[in-house]
Amino acid sequence: MVAKSEAAEHERLVLAAVDKFLEAEVRPHVHALEHDDVYPADIVEKMKERGLFGCIIAPEYGGLGLSTSTYAKIIERMSAVWMSISGIINSHLIMAMVVQRNGTDEQKAKFLPRFATGEVRGGIGLTEPDCGTDLQAIRTVARRAGNNDYVVNGRKTWISNGLHGNCLALLVKTDPNANPRHKGMSVLIAEKGPGFTVSRKLEKLGYKGIDTCELAFDDYKVPADCLVGGVEGRGLQQILNGLELGRINVAARGVGVAAAALKEAVAYSQVRKTFGKPICEHQAIQLKLGDMATRLEAARLLTYRAAEAYDRGERCDMEAGMAKLFATEAAMENSLEAMRIHGAYGYSKEFSIERLYRDAPLLIIGEGTNEMQRIIIAKQLIERNRV
Ligand SMILES: Cc1cc2nc3c(=O)[nH]c(=O)nc-3n(C[C@H](O)[C@H](O)[C@H](O)COP(=O)(O)OP(=O)(O)OC[C@H]3O[C@@H](n4cnc5c(N)ncnc54)[C@H](O)[C@@H]3O)c2cc1C
């Protein structure tokens, strides 16, 4: 009981510090950085100082060792202020967790302390020009050259942190002819070097500021001891395990965006008047606010529940999938409803509603599309209820 209340108090202090940081160091700059699509280098430095790049990395490797539940609440808060900064640590931490959960002792000792400080930052390199959902169709190949290196050739696209980061958990084929295909897939910890180039920074609808890139690998050498876990053929599973955390991240982002949209709508509806009264007194607006608030609360509960299951070490692909599906659709719906409530001002670049409306669609695509989440949920439902 004491330990539980100590943990709750610790979480409260961490979240209060995050809120203070967001209000003082992030919110005042969001509008300019977003509209000029500028990488928030100063904010990243301050996130490093506060240990955010290592927030869920174990303390023995220099991280803060926070639970996934606390981490989800941090991401929710960040996304309510500016979703782009959550992406800078989200895919970095998926990379870190791939190493923490699957790496050899040497790999953990070599990489995790540098990931925790943010000295080495990056993300996950999975998607290619010809495939995203069907990851077993990737064509990037890593061939063993002697005892010391892999030589990588291929293309990746839509890679977050591709330009400003310097390392990736890179999904490759170490045996392109393997059957089943996943047995020929591996993950390399790939630090930038000769042959690893950023071919293009992609222009996006929203999620501005953060770099999303196309990458080229041409005879790029990776030391053989950077093969995650030291055994070939386990890469797809290592990445899929990481994506469970990724889905909780994205669900938390959805909660943040949905919450920000509701907050703006509740405030605006009390000051905007039509026909002699604030619009919040019109039933048509009340119906929207009621639905938005209920949707937000349901999304939040699903997300916290999935994070708690992950913290207990339980299999939670169904829970994470449900949270991701529901919370990201909630972000879509709440941002659209907030725009309707704001009328023309919702469409203005001077207010934040249009940003929330542009940010939300990424969430229904990234970390597994919402179509795929429904399929994952249904498969698990059947698996857990076999007759
Ligand atoms: C801003 C942004 C950042 C990203 N960051 C990263 C990153 O850091 N690293 C990375 O590796 N990737 C990243 N991605 C890529 C993202 O993960 C993929 O876009 C996503 O997995 C979907 O793949 P796809 O775009 O190739 O769509 P496709 O796989 O081509 O799917 C197209 C459509 O077909 C549907 N579909 C596909 N297969 C099935 C099926 N079996 N049954 C039913 N429907 C199906 C999908 O749901 C979708 O509606 C990012 C994308 C964006 C937009």
Q: Both 12 and 139 in a single domain? A: no
* Concatenated DSSP letters of 316-367: -HHHHHHHHHHHHHHHHHHHHHHHHHHGGGGG-TTSSHHHHHHHHHHHHHSS
The pTM is what? 0.97
Q: Tell me if 158 CB under 6 Å of ligand 1.
A: yes
Structural domain ending residue among the three candidates 211, 234, 257 = 234
Q: Both 77 and 57 in a single domain? A: yes
Give the atom of ligand 1 at the shortest distance from the alpha carbon of 156.
11
Cα-to-centroid distance, 64 and ligand 1 (Å): 31
Would residue 11 show up in a list of annotated catalytic residues for this protein? no
Structural domain ending residue among the three candidates 93, 117, 141 = 117
Q: Both 128 and 86 in a single domain? A: no
Give the atom of ligand 1 at the shortest distance from the alpha carbon of 161.
8
Q: Tell me if 168 CB under 6 Å of ligand 1.
A: no
Domain count for the chain, please give it.
Answer: 3
Query: For position 84, what pLDDT does the model report?
Result: 97
pLDDT in tens, the chain (387 residues): 557 788 999 999 999 999 999 999 999 999 999 999 999 999 999 999 999 999 999 999 999 999 999 999 999 999 999 999 999 999 999 999 999 999 999 999 999 999 999 999 999 999 999 999 999 999 999 999 988 999 999 999 999 999 999 999 999 999 999 999 999 999 999 999 999 999 999 999 999 999 999 999 999 999 999 999 999 999 999 999 888 899 999 999 999 999 999 999 999 999 999 999 999 999 999 999 999 999 999 999 999 999 999 999 998 999 999 999 999 999 999 999 999 999 999 999 999 999 999 999 999 999 999 999 999 999 999 999 999
Q: Tell me if 207 CB under 6 Å of ligand 1.
A: yes
Q: Both 254 and 368 in a single domain? A: yes
Give the count of beta carbons closer than 10 Å to the beta carbon of residue 206.
17
CATH number reported for the structural domain that contains residue 95 in this entry: 1.10.540.10
Domain that holds residue 213: 122-234
Query: For position 241, what pLDDT does the model report?
Result: 85
Structural domain ending residue among the three candidates 206, 234, 262 = 234
Q: Both 224 and 250 in a single domain? A: no
Q: Both 276 and 348 in a single domain? A: yes
> How far, in Å, CA of 127 to CA of 279, rounded?
45
> How far, in Å, CA of 89 to CA of 46, rounded?
12
Report whether 95 contacts 124 (CB < 8 A): yes
Q: Both 243 and 132 in a single domain? A: no
| Residue 369, both tokens | 């599309």
Active-site residue among 214, 333, 354, 367?
367
Q: Both 252 and 144 in a single domain? A: no
Q: Both 90 and 165 in a single domain? A: no
> How far, in Å, CA of 383 to CA of 250, rounded?
25
